[in-house]
Amino acid sequence: MKKQLLLIILFGTFFCFRASAQDQGGGWDKRTNVYGVETRTNAFEVGAEYLLPGGGDFGNVYKNGFGGALRYRFGVAQYKSLLVSAGYNTFKGEVALPGNNAPVNVRANFIPIKVGMKFGLSDYVYLAGEVGTTIGLGVKGIDDVNLFVRDSYQIKGALFNFAPSFGILIPSKNKNYLDLSIRYEGMSVNRDFNFFTGIRAAYGFNIAR
């Protein structure tokens, strides 16, 4: 996975420099070509995510996950944008039954809702920070677990979340762009913070103002 992530970053960086070189030739209007951080345009992003739980109780149960999210970017100043997003995440894992340690397949589902800021380091590289609420929809398959430990695995209700991220933007047609990013997200579960890494690929549709 580390090698795949490195290839994604190198691949995206290559296209960013290539696009930047094309810009120098005068093919783009410099007032409107700053993808993702431009001051006079907004964008609507549609993305898919691969999720890798970290350590702790959450990471011991859930091994991977997938998600999707819609995000609206509102440009407020040069290299600064407001972010509003909502998505759906699902994690797959196993819980061992007490006594015989027989594995039970479980699935936890969440709806994350976040707001944040994006800060451009250049036209095509950015940092972002988001906070919000994750709605736990419960854990499917948990009913097959012993009643005495079932509640400790159940996840429902509103959870606090926060997520710093790093991303690169690859220009596309009509001032749209491909957004590749990685984030480290934390959410409060049963009074403890649980963390996971999200690898996101999204397509941004430029909305002129």
Q: What is the tens place of the pLDDT at every residue in 87-131? A: 999 999 988 776 666 788 889 999 999 999 999 998 899 999 999
Average pLDDT over residues 58-85: 92
pLDDT score of 175? 84
pLDDT at 147 over 80: no
List of residues 6+ apart from 81 with CB closer than 8 A: 36, 37, 73, 74, 75, 117, 118
Task: For the chain, give the mean pLDDT.
Answer: 80
Q: 2-26+44-208 maps to which CATH number? A: 2.40.160.20
pLDDT at 17 over 70: no
pTM higher than the cut 0.85: no
pLDDT at 169 over 90: yes
pLDDT at 135 over 60: yes
pLDDT score of 57? 78
- In this prediction, residue 146 has a pLDDT band, given cuts at 50, 70 and 90, of low
pLDDT score of 148? 58
pLDDT at 182 over 90: yes
